[in-house]
């Protein structure tokens, strides 16, 4: 591949304007990096144009319509007033690079933070409309058949057709299969749980019987007078009044005067 020859200035004429100074040009509007083609934004047509020359830089003659510079590519082919505009490098490339970095950091700080809008989650289904999962094999089978009947009669695109099952149908089918597979194990666990419940109830009843059958602890908890009354076995006759009665309890029959 042949090496591209750098552009040269074949004429000493310019547009008779004062040369543009590199120190007065915005750093982002010119490119004078070493090893790259030097370009600049034309002050008249505001488009990127090539800088020709090595010591005396000039903006390449161009058309403001954006053609390639040949008269055959444009009917009128007017010349931009910014053509042959001289450019003078009054500062070094290093100083221009520092100004370029400073301008880039300032522009980065002025940029506002990009906002990321998260999608609003769909509202949860009310508890009153939630269908509980079946707990037995028969309930799962009834729920699965009911879903198939309602889903196949609907006009939705994702309804159950043939061997295809929608999300709800697949979930009920999985529940039915799981209940059918674990039926024996669940029955065994239910029997063991019932046996443990009966054992715990018998143990609790036994402990309660032992705690309430002893008279001495009950008498001590009830007080000294009750303990003495319980220890002294007295015969109680029919119609007798206990010695623990209150004074305000009336003993005489109530007479109502008319």
Torsion of CA 87, 40, 69, 74, to 10 degrees: -120
Using the Cα atoms of residue 196, residue 198, residue 200 and residue 203 in order, give the sign of their dihedral. Answer: negative
* Residue whose token pair is 């505009």: 85
What was the pLDDT predicted at 167? 83
What integer pLDDT is reported at residue 1 of this predicted model? 45
* pLDDT at residue 217 is higher than 60: no
**pLDDT, average across residues 189-207:** 90
pLDDT of residue 192: 92
* Sheet arrangement for strand 30-31: 20-21, 86-88, 57-59, 48-52, 39-41, 30-31
Q: What is the DSSP string of 183-224?
A: HHHHHHHHHHHHHHHHHHHHHHHHHHHHHHH-HHHHHHHH-H
What pLDDT shows up at residue 80? 86
**At which residue do the structure tokens 């059918």 appear?**
180
| Between 257 and 53, residue with greater pLDDT | 53
Residue 165 has pLDDT above 60, yes or no: yes
Largest CA distance in the chain: 148
> With a threshold of 0.85, does the pTM exceed it?
no
Strand partners, 40: 30, 49
| Summary mean pLDDT of the chain | 77
**HEC-encoded secondary structure of 19-48:** CEECCCCCHHHEECCCCCCCEEECCCCCCE
Q: How far apart are CA 197 and CA 194, in angstroms?
A: 5
Asked whether residue 94 carries a pLDDT value surpassing 80, the answer given is: yes
Q: Specify the pLDDT at position 103.
A: 76
């Amino acid at each position: 591949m042949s090496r591209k020859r750098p552009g040269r200035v074949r004429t000493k004429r310019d547009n008779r304007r004062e040369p543009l100074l590199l120190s007065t040009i915005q750093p982002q509007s010119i490119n004078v990096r070493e090893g790259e083609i030097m370009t600049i934004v034309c002050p008249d047509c505001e488009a990127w144009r090539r800088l020709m020359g090595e010591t005396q830089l000039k903006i390449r003659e161009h058309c403001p319509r954006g053609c390639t510079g040949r008269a055959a590519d444009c009917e009128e082919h007017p010349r931009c007033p910014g053509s042959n505009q001289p450019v003078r490098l009054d500062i070094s490339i290093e100083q221009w690079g520092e100004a370029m970095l400073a301008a880039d950091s300032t522009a980065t700080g002025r940029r506002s933070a990009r906002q990321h809008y998260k999608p609003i989650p769909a509202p949860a289904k009310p508890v009153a409309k939630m269908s509980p999962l079946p707990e037995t094999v028969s309930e799962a089978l009834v729920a699965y058949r009911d879903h198939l009947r309602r889903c196949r009669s609907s006009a939705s695109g994702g309804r159950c057709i043939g061997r295809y099952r929608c999300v709800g149908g697949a979930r009920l089918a999985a529940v039915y299969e799981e209940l059918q597979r674990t039926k024996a194990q669940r029955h065994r666990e239910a029997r063991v749980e019932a046996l443990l419940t009966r054992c715990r109830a018998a143990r609790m009843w036994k402990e309660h019987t032992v705690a309430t059958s002893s008279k001495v602890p009950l008498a001590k908890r009830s007080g000294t007078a009750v303990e003495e009354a319980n220890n002294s076995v007295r015969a109680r006759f029919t119609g007798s009044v206990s010695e623990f009665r209150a004074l305000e309890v009336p003993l005489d029959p109530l007479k109502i005067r008319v």
